[in-house]
Chains A and B, each alone.
Chain A
Amino acid sequence: MAMAQQTVNTAIDSLTAALKSNIIPNQEYFLQGSILDSSVEVLLHRLRGLCDNVDTNLETFHDHEMCFSIRGPNNTQPLQLRVRRSLDHNGMPMQLRYIGQPEIGDKSRPTVLRNSIDIGTSNTVVEFLTELGCRKDFEYSAKGYMFRKGRMKITVFKVFKIDETRKMMSSGGFDALSPLTHSYLVELSVLAPSGQDAIADDMRCFAEQLRPLVQLEKIDYKRLVHGP
């Protein structure tokens, strides 16, 4: 019988080819802002008018995120990894995310840019990371709404502390969460391959439409950590 000589490429070869042709969406463009609880309804109303995915009800989400870090050799900056799972939909894959250092850039850059690798995984990922040598730094719960406009994703959510003393209960402590602040965090983001800076201008235009309700801007965390 004739042997077909087509060979199968290795996964690494395919990944390298994809990286070279710049089709892997590993850059995240994003802006952040916040809005007080008392005004969030108005923002949701405005987003319903502007966004795509609002035919029926608002799309909600309730996620649990855990942040791990693993020490590199020679006391270099530890590598941070985040694991996110949905509390509403138990069967869904978990999400493992690597986020690189954010680039704030100068005034000409409308959004923050950071390397972001999003990986869907089976539910053994927490045990896997722990045995790999990662340590859990902190965790929180996020509950809110998700909107989409074209390639842009807009999330309006509240951050909750997880009560450690209730973790042993069957609900995992997720039924009685205490909010961290009296406000909602608003994030506008796009995940794209590198070099698509035009999307940042579209994001700035969209952000303008949400003013003065919420000011979406580039937040420099280093300034927040080190204080005035």
Chain B
Amino acid sequence: MGVTILLSYPVPENKTGPQTAELLIKRIGALGAVQSGQFLVDCETFSSGPTMGGPPRTVHVLHNSEQPAAVFALLESPGPPPKTVPLVADGLFDLLMLKMSSIYASKKQTRMEARGTRFEIADFLVKIGTVTMSSNFKGVLVEVEYRPCFIAGNCWELMREFMQSFLGSVVQNTPPPYFQVHNRLNDVYQPLDTIQQYLDHFASYRKVAGL
């Protein structure tokens, strides 16, 4: 998988979420993008019950239609020190979480989904999706993947230029916060990085009251 950047596109005052997504689709279409299917990234959150003792631990289980055979789990442990442990597992991991439902309960109402259309344009893969939480609209997320490269530092300028051509000044001139942590600009990019970006965006959408 190539370097992928996930961006939240702010919905203008006079437009709805779906209208904003349509606008972006028109713009990318004008650049010559070809539609190639739909995509879905979803996130279900499980919390440990009181019997576990101590502050509750949270497990976020995510799926990405781009990696249909994988399940991504991110465990937030309060520690000390607080840390997030990632796990990539195959599809049956969901069955195991079901088996553990008495220990880690799912908060169904916080389930989030980013759903939309995939577009291919030259070496890029662009996904324009609307984020919903229990059918309530939360925002518009744009995912841009530059397939030939898997080191973010080597293609950030190219990606910025491409993204600014259809997203405008929403795209900052510095790499997004996710890539400024540790040595991420020089690490090999993995599907788990895309999932972590989705989780960061979903977390900030959860904090915002319904639109």
Give the B-binding residues of A (Cβ under 8 A).
1, 3-4, 6-8, 10-12, 14-15, 19, 24, 26, 70-74, 76, 79, 96, 98, 117-122, 124-125, 127-128, 131-133
Contact = CB atoms under 8 A, between A and B. Distances in A.
Contacts of A15: 91, 94-95
B171 interface: no
Interface residues of B, number: 44
Contacts of A98: 96, 99
Given A70-B103, A133-B48, A24 B35 contact: no
B17 to A, nearest CB: 16
A117 B50 CA distance: 27
Interface of B: 25, 29, 35, 37-40, 42, 44, 48-52, 57, 59, 63, 65, 68, 71, 73, 75, 77, 83, 85-96, 99-100, 102-104, 113, 115, 117
B95 A26 contact: yes
Given A4-B37, A120-B90, 10 more contacts: A8-B65, A10-B40, A11-B71, A70-B103, A72-B51, A73-B49, A96-B89, A118-B92, A131-B57, A132-B57
A101 to B, nearest CB: 12
A122 B65 contact: no
A92 to B, nearest CB: 13
Contacts of B49: 73
A14 B63 CA distance: 12
